[in-house]
Amino acid sequence: MHATSRRRFLTQTAAAAAGFMIVPRHVLGGTRFTAPSDQLTKAIIGVGGMGRGHIGYEGTRLLAVCDVDRTHLQEVLATLGPEVTGYADYREVLQRPDVDIVHIATPPHWHALMSIEAARAGKDIWCEKPMTRTIGEGLRVVEEVNRRGRMFRLNTWFRFKDTFYGLGTDVKPLKKVIQSGVLGWPLTFTVSGVTGYDWKFFWSGRTDLKPMPVPPELDYDMWLGPAPYKPYNPERVHSKFRGYWDYDGGGLGDMGQHYLDPVQYLLGKDDTSPIRVDVDAPQQHYDAAGSWRRIEYTYADGCKIVLDGENRDVDAAYIAGPKGRVYRGFRSDVPNLERIIAAMPDPEPQIGTFSDSVRTRRKFALNETNAHRSATLVNLGVIVLRLGRTVHFDPVTMRFKDDEAANRLIDQPMRAPWVI
């Protein structure tokens, strides 16, 4: 293990050498205290793609970047100041006592393990979506983040800000519409190209990959980490990884939490999950993720989320209730909708700046608990795709009912020596 720095050195603190407990600087002044002049610091793990976008997030001070590809690391370091140190091994980053927040922008098969180890190291966590690759990994992240008293943020934001794709507005007015009851209950959400949501089936993997030499700049064994060993092919790594079950879940894995987390919020389902998931899809390859026609989630109260991958319903409403509908672009057949929205109180406020969560020790809008539930939507979809059939799920035990094959996909083995 080694570090690469533009200054070619890394200061080692006496406390770390002595094996003392690492305590982030923002808690040294006591519970819920951070000196106003103390700028929060961060490290970014994974800077080949999405991670580069994290460099400027919230104005926090970047101290370290990490990547298993030397080319990625050198490219990024060349754009940064001499105070930023480069690493090839994320575990060295976690040992630094001067890092407050760890940004995890690796492929999803690393998210759980890195989040858990960051929490154990006393770091707050800003993680890319999807939160985890399996339901079992998500449960362990929730457990460890809470046990260690860490702050966690998932990097999607539509439940609390910005125009929500085909809706044409942020979700706040839609939350008011639903809370007013004018649409009735239960509700069905249709997430499709018709309603403004592209499932990006170009992320389907290839089934004809041949082993190829590993390029010298890439530590492929470390890139794989806990994933099963498969011979190297450039189609499997970097910007192509989403098409393979070992690392992600195709278009559903890529866009699922972006699209489905706000639906979960709008339905008020942050503390539960569907009880049944149906699927209509071609048989999936054992290694490469493919396309699908339809995935349908049903909650205990009859609410549904329909993922229409082939845009079958050309007249679909985004939300359909027994009393009214809302369509793409926030069109509706409910009369006087603007007046109804204006008369409704605003939804409960949410913390939408992660630095505020870190400083106040109050949970972020999309934290480990509700993010795990929306990641479960994605992972339930992946499971029915891989099995090719309906499943019945218990949202309390987080297990499938009388379904050994489905339950095996909740906790999938990690390649030694990696464990969580």
pLDDT digit string (tens) for 168-179? 999 999 999 999
CB 353 within 8 A of CB 365: no
Secondary element (H or E) of residue 189:
strand 188-192
Residue with the two structure tokens 């890319």: 128
CB 140 within 8 A of CB 117: no
State how many domains the chain has: 2
Residues 55, 180 within the same domain: no
pLDDT band of 17, cuts 50, 70, 90:
very low
Q: Look up the domain containing 83 and give its range.
A: 3-154
Per-residue pLDDT, averaged over 313-332, amounts to 97
pLDDT band of 38, cuts 50, 70, 90:
confident
Supply φ then ψ for residue 188, to 5 degrees. Answer: -120, 125
Q: What is the 3-state secondary structure (H, E, C) of 33-70?
A: CCCCCCCCEEEEECCCCHHHHCCCHHHCEEEEEECCEH
pLDDT over 90 for what percent of the chain? 91
Instruction: Output the pTM of the full model.
Output: 0.91
Residues 287, 175 within the same domain: yes
pLDDT over 70 for what percent of the chain? 91
Q: How many whole angstroms from its chain centre is CA 71?
A: 26
The distance between the two most distant Cα atoms of the chain, rounded to a whole number of Å, is: 69
The pairing of beta strand 276-280 with beta strand 101-104: unpaired
Residues 148, 169 within the same domain: no
pLDDT band of 13, cuts 50, 70, 90:
very low
Q: Is residue 160 part of a domain?
A: no
Per-residue model confidence (pLDDT) at position 303: 98
Q: At residue 237, does pLDDT exceed 80?
A: yes
Lowest mean pLDDT among 26-30, 70-74, 286-290, 400-404: 26-30
Strand, coil or helix: what is 281? coil
Residues 185, 93 within the same domain: no
CA distance 88 to 72: 11
Q: Is residue 414 part of a domain?
A: no
Residue 235 CB neighbour total at 10 angstroms: 18
Q: Is residue 231 part of a domain?
A: no
Decide which of 408 and 21 is more confident.
408
CB 415 within 8 A of CB 227: yes
CB within 8 A of 50, min separation 6: which ones? 105, 128, 155
pLDDT in tens, 347-378: 999 999 999 999 999 999 999 999 999 999 99
Per-residue model confidence (pLDDT) at position 18: 36
Strand, coil or helix: what is 148? helix
Q: At residue 306, does pLDDT exceed 70?
A: yes
**First-to-final CA distance of the chain:** 21
- CATH number for the domain including 61? 3.40.50.720
Strands (E), 342-416: 391-394, 399-400
Q: Is residue 296 part of a domain?
A: yes
CB 347 within 8 A of CB 270: no
Q: At residue 389, does pLDDT exceed 70?
A: yes
CB 355 within 8 A of CB 151: no
Residues 51, 150 within the same domain: yes
Q: At residue 6, does pLDDT exceed 90?
A: no
Residue 294 CB burial class (10 angstroms; 0-12, 13-18, ≥19): middle
Residues 150, 176 within the same domain: no
Per-residue pLDDT, averaged over 9-23, amounts to 37
Residues 58, 124 within the same domain: yes
Decide which of 1 and 261 is more confident.
261
- Residues in the chain, overall count: 420
Q: At residue 134, does pLDDT exceed 60?
A: yes
Q: Is residue 114 part of a domain?
A: yes
Residues 36, 130 within the same domain: yes
Residues 190, 256 within the same domain: yes
CB 418 within 8 A of CB 226: yes
Q: Is residue 211 part of a domain?
A: no
CB 72 within 8 A of CB 47: yes
Per-residue model confidence (pLDDT) at position 36: 43
CA distance 133 to 190: 24
Residue 47 CB burial class (10 angstroms; 0-12, 13-18, ≥19): buried
Secondary element (H or E) of residue 179:
helix 172-180
The first and second tokens of residue 200, run together, are 């990006």
